[in-house]
Structure 1
Amino acid sequence: MRDRSKPPGVGAVIGWTALAAIAPGAAHLRAGWRRTGLAILCAYTVLLLALLWVGLTSDLAALAGQLIASSGLTGVTVVASLALGAAWFALIVHSFVVMNPGTLPSTGQAVAGGVAGMLAVAVLLPFGLVGQYVAASQSAVDDIFSAPSTPRPASSGGGEDDPWAGRNRVNILLLGGDADTHREGVRTDSINVASIDVKTGSTVLLSLPRNLENVRFVPGSPMAKRFPDGFRLPANPDGSREDLLFAVWEYADSHPEIFGGRKGQGTKTLIDTVGYTLGLKIDWYALVNMWGFARLIDAIGGVMLTVPQDVVFGKYNEGLVKAGTRKLRGADAMWFARSRTNSDDYTRMGRQRCVLGALLSQSDPATVLSRFNQVALATKELLRTDIPRPMLEHLVPLALKVKNAKVTSVQFVPPLINTGYPDWSKIRTVTAKALRTSAVTRRPLSATATPSATPKATTIRTPRPGTSTSAKPDPTAPKGITEGCG
């Protein structure tokens, strides 16, 4: 039964309609629609309690992984979000109508109607954005994770419900490629393996130099039969070499005759070769297009870096990244990471590590959400991987663990190893030691660093000539990913 008391004024109509946006049913109760108002309010309360129960009892990271991994669930989420948004829009409109705005003066009707309309659109927008974000992520995931399902990591005693089959670590080969429209093949300029503790997220980043010589291949493999004493080809007329680690993928792709005529063997060859070099079983790989990476940096608005000295780049040294602390856009950040002008591969590897560390620390959830569409579009152009989509259900929660865990790195560069005559046994020994240290330490990043609201600049610090320390650091000890980067 409706209340036939004195109609509310303009302020009351606007106020009760606005209250209905956060407490559905309030306007109906005020207008005398008691049964309807109580029914709406009860339904809203049940919904809030259900969401609270899910938040308190569920692993939200796992739910996010399931959402991304399942295309069907993603579609349901988009439809449900849009339907709920439409229902909320209709609720605001009806709340305004039951407040009987027709009794207001014409000016009051116009003001109250305009405010109610804006309010209805405002409550619809978040649901529309959720649907858009989910659809954009679905499109990106469909493009990137299109590889057929592959076996899970080799079992070492885990139960059937253990996605890692009892293993303590998962190893992912991270490659930075220079593929471009005017260049044939893929040269892997950046070669890293992320070995991740599946329980804690503690990660060791193992970096191999692109100019590693005399690369050894898995015994018995076609490449090992072709190069029994290591990967060695005649030098180019200018003295440069094409038989380094960075060229393994391209060489294998260019010589299918080595593999009995089978084409496209570069990926598997490099995965097996890196795994054999480090003494690890590589589970999957992810190839990052370096210029797609630049677009990702642009998508999050750039990264704060401290460039210790001018970095020159370009075929004719026409480019320059000036020294100083500031936010770099994608192209400058990539040239800072990639330029070898007046430098060497080892310094460049250090700069690459600093850029990765800066991106990891500065890509906070708020920034990603505010630029979600740009990030999703850049990611589609960025990655190529053999990670099967069903594994995303488990990898997304693991990635969130890595974000808050301790990340250390080992770079196999001089003086640790001689890239011309590598000590393969030492490489495997240092790798094993780094993984043992990571497993024992298992300290979250927050235990050693206090987060700051302002992104911290990242730089490479070079000791002054003539300085010394009382104790020499252990060159085999893993370092924090941003150690020496400011």
Structure 2
Amino acid sequence: MTDDVRGVGDGRRAVPKRDPDDTIIATRRELERRQSGAARTPLRSRHDRRIARARDVRRALGLTALSVLLPGLGLLWTKRRMIGLLLIGITLIGGISLAIIVSSGGLVHGAAQLLTHKGLVMLLLFTIMGGLLWIGGIVLTALTTTDRRWPHQTRWMHAVFATLMCLVVAAPAAYAARDVIITRNAFDQIFTKRYTNDPDAATPKGGSNPWKNIPRVNLLLVGSDAGADRYSQRPDSMMVASIDTKTGDTVLVSVPRNMGHAPFPASSPLHKLYPGGLVALPGQTDAAAGLMESVWAVGIANKNLYPKDDPSPGLSATRDAITGITGLKIDYTAVIDMSGFEQLVNAMGGVWVNVKADPGQWLDPQKGIPIGGVIQNGQVVPGSITGYIKLGYQKLDGREALWYSRSRVASSDDQRMRRQRCMLNDLISQANPFQMVQKFPSIMQVAAKNIRIDINQDDLPAFATLADQMKHGNIRTVDISNSRSNANPDFAQIHRWIQQAIARKHTKKKAPAPGQTTSATSSPSTPSSSTTTNPISDTADSC
């Protein structure tokens, strides 16, 4: 090697000149070093690489599946562990909050809190945000566990698996959101504003005991043969349910359509017009004039006597007349279209009823309850009866349940009202929340078209608690109808009978055995179909 002495004379530093042979030698040594190192750590075979890749794929699939069980759970074993912990924390906080709401004040009361205006909004947001959060956790887990070095087919398979897992979560979330929206729309139509000027109206309070200072709630049930919003039609049936808020004991009073002289309380606008009770006015030729079935039409005809903000003078007139007949102040009303009742029973999956021939049934009592039937000049029109509901304990569909409740071609209005009370008793005792959830959308759609209730939607938790209490209470009937007394009833006596029924002591109910009728579990009493014998009976005994 020789030194390059360029620039020595002018003061520049001497630069050594590199020999080409030295560069060749260095390159050879580097190659030998690399070759010797490769010999010590040989490359894995293709089989080993396949095994390692299969292990990584199984791990990725497993972690993605874990994020289906709980949002972000699969991320705990990846580099995004903190994000996984955050998603799990949000999920637990939301779940615990929802559980606290549902369990507060009892399961039924708490669940009903989700059906209030605010509850449904919260439930909708919870469903949508929860679903998106869950899907986000699955997608993030899949992206984090995917190896870009995988073959195209493997990465495609992992993406398809993650998509399927997202659908597993998205489908129920979408159904839940749909049900919430259906419920909101239905409730907007079902629940109407209660019209009352009574400062002492029975209004539940908040808390776990909303009926603490309200001993009884009186609910008027009106069955209409028209839509629930067609108030010009005469009611097909009228029934009062007086409910003890502590025991759940309920007194049912059916008011006959042909009852005359219905008294109006002094607070009613119709009291001045009919001070001695409802009667047919001069010039009225309608056969129903002066009878209870005409009260609705009377209220509409005299709507100028009612406040301008009264949404339904016909309903208000009926409520006032019922108060005069029973002596019970009506707190709430429910108007149900009878054709909608048929659809509602079908949506609920039917109702079990112990079908018995009516006492005094004059037409083929051994065949059961007639379906259809038209009477002209005291005779049944041939061919108008299209069938019979057979006797015995059986499940009725909507059409059969409707005719069981309405048929009177072979018996009297009294017996028809008895069957209506039996139907209500069976529906209350057989209500199954789990079956209702399964058929929820169809039930809500039918209810929205055919039911109007003047209950504040935000009071639903209180009424849900009351309904649950009714299932454990005694249901008793006061029979105020009599063919000899409907034309000129003794209303003072009717008031006494109802108060006697209310004063009866609560008796513990036993759950019926499978296939056993509800009448076998009720306390003994003497059934009656006339107020001349024993007007008070346990409802199930006459069913």
Residue aligning to 1:273 = 321
Instruction: Write the mapping of 1:410-429 to structure 2, written as runs, cut at 5 A.
Output: 410-414=478-482, 418-429=485-496
The answer to whether the 8 Å contact 1:302/1:330 transfers is: yes
Instruction: Write the mapping of 1:122-161 to structure 2, written as runs, cut at 5 A.
Output: 122-147=168-193, 150=196, 154=200
Tell me the TM-score normalised to structure 2 length: 0.73
Residue aligning to 1:289 = 337
Residue aligning to 1:465 = none
| Of 423, 427, 447, the match for 1:359 | 427
Structure 1 residue ranges without an equivalent (≥5): 461-468
Letter in 2 for 1:311: P
Change (3 A) 1:226 1:407: same
The answer to whether the 8 Å contact 2:338/2:402 transfers is: yes
Cα deviation code 1:44-69 (max 9, x no counterpart)? 44445545555555544444444433
Indicate yes or no: 2:133 matched with 1:75: no
Instruction: Write the mapping of 1:121-200 to structure 2, written as runs, cut at 5 A.
Output: 121-147=167-193, 150=196, 154=200, 166-179=213-226, 185-200=232-247
Instruction: Tell me, in whole angstroms, the C-alpha distance in 1 between the residues paired with 2:517 and 2:150.
Output: 58
Instruction: Tell me, in whole angstroms, the C-alpha distance in 2 between the residues paired with 1:202 and 1:17.
Output: 54
The answer to whether the 8 Å contact 1:216/1:273 transfers is: yes
Q: CA deviation at 1:326?
A: 4.5
The answer to whether the 8 Å contact 1:252/1:269 transfers is: yes
| Of 427, 430, 438, the match for 1:370 | 438
The answer to whether the 8 Å contact 1:164/1:170 transfers is: no
The answer to whether the 8 Å contact 2:474/2:538 transfers is: no
Q: CA deviation at 1:348?
A: 0.9
Residue aligning to 1:441 = 506
Instruction: Tell me, in whole angstroms, the C-alpha distance in 1 between the residues paired with 2:425 and 2:249.
Output: 15
Instruction: Tell me, in whole angstroms, the C-alpha distance in 1 between the residues paired with 2:158 and 2:186.
Output: 42
Instruction: Tell me, in whole angstroms, the C-alpha distance in 2 between the residues paired with 1:270 and 1:410.
Output: 19
Q: CA deviation at 1:431?
A: 0.8
Change (3 A) 1:257 1:148: closer
Structure 2 residue ranges without an equivalent (≥5): 1-50, 357-367, 375-380
| Of 340, 348, 358, the match for 1:300 | 348
Query: In structure 2, the residue corresponding to 1:250 is in which secondary structure?
Result: helix
Instruction: Write the mapping of 1:186-225 to structure 2, written as runs, cut at 5 A.
Output: 186-219=233-266, 221-225=268-272
Instruction: Tell me, in whole angstroms, the C-alpha distance in 2 between the residues paired with 1:13 and 1:275.
Output: 71
Residue aligning to 2:455 = 387
Instruction: Tell me, in whole angstroms, the C-alpha distance in 1 between the residues paired with 2:151 and 2:475.
Output: 66
| Of 412, 415, 420, the match for 1:344 | 412
Residue aligning to 2:535 = 476
Query: In structure 1, the residue corresponding to 2:238 is in which secondary structure?
Result: strand
Indicate yes or no: 2:371 matched with 1:312: yes
Instruction: Tell me, in whole angstroms, the C-alpha distance in 1 between the residues paired with 2:459 and 2:88.
Output: 40
Query: In structure 2, the residue corresponding to 1:186 is in which secondary structure?
Result: coil
Instruction: Tell me, in whole angstroms, the C-alpha distance in 2 between the residues paired with 1:352 and 1:235.
Output: 34
Instruction: Tell me, in whole angstroms, the C-alpha distance in 1 between the residues paired with 2:433 and 2:205.
Output: 33
Letter in 2 for 1:249: W
The answer to whether the 8 Å contact 1:62/1:393 transfers is: yes
Q: CA deviation at 1:457?
A: 6.8
Q: CA deviation at 1:248?
A: 1.2
Query: In structure 1, the residue corresponding to 2:441 is in which secondary structure?
Result: helix
Larger radius of gyration: 2
Cα deviation code 1:136-156 (max 9, x no counterpart)? 221112112232675676179
Structure 1, 39-48 or 285-294: larger mean CA deviation:
39-48
Cα deviation code 1:359-402 (max 9, x no counterpart)? 22333111211111111111112222333444335323323333
Residue aligning to 1:120 = 166
The answer to whether the 8 Å contact 1:155/1:164 transfers is: no
Instruction: Tell me, in whole angstroms, the C-alpha distance in 2 between the residues paired with 1:210 and 1:224.
Output: 20
Cα deviation code 1:151-179 (max 9, x no counterpart)? 676179x9998865822111111111122
Query: In structure 1, the residue corresponding to 2:242 is in which secondary structure?
Result: strand
Change (3 A) 1:344 1:106: farther
Indicate yes or no: 2:515 matched with 1:450: no
Change (3 A) 1:10 1:442: farther
Cα deviation code 1:308-357 (max 9, x no counterpart)? 41413144514324415544332332122112212211111122122223
The answer to whether the 8 Å contact 2:72/2:138 transfers is: no
Change (3 A) 1:212 1:179: same
Provide the alpha-carbon RMSD of the alignment: 4.0
- What is the count of residue pairs matched by the alignment? 461
Change (3 A) 1:45 1:82: closer
The answer to whether the 8 Å contact 1:187/1:249 transfers is: yes
Residue aligning to 1:254 = 301
Q: CA deviation at 1:110?
A: 5.4
Structure 1, 310-319 or 236-245: larger mean CA deviation:
236-245
Instruction: Tell me, in whole angstroms, the C-alpha distance in 2 between the residues paired with 1:25 and 1:221.
Output: 64
Structure 1, 267-276 or 49-58: larger mean CA deviation:
49-58
Residue aligning to 1:463 = none
Letter in 1 for 2:406: R
Structure 1, 82-91 or 60-69: larger mean CA deviation:
60-69
Letter in 2 for 1:191: M
| Of 224, 230, 242, the match for 2:277 | 230
Instruction: Tell me, in whole angstroms, the C-alpha distance in 2 between the residues paired with 1:368 and 1:450.
Output: 20
Cα deviation code 1:417-457 (max 9, x no counterpart)? 832332211110111111112xx3164xxx322364x7x67
Query: In structure 1, the residue corresponding to 2:223 is in which secondary structure?
Result: strand
Cα deviation code 1:193-234 (max 9, x no counterpart)? 111222343322222222212322224755444444433338
The answer to whether the 8 Å contact 2:296/2:314 transfers is: yes
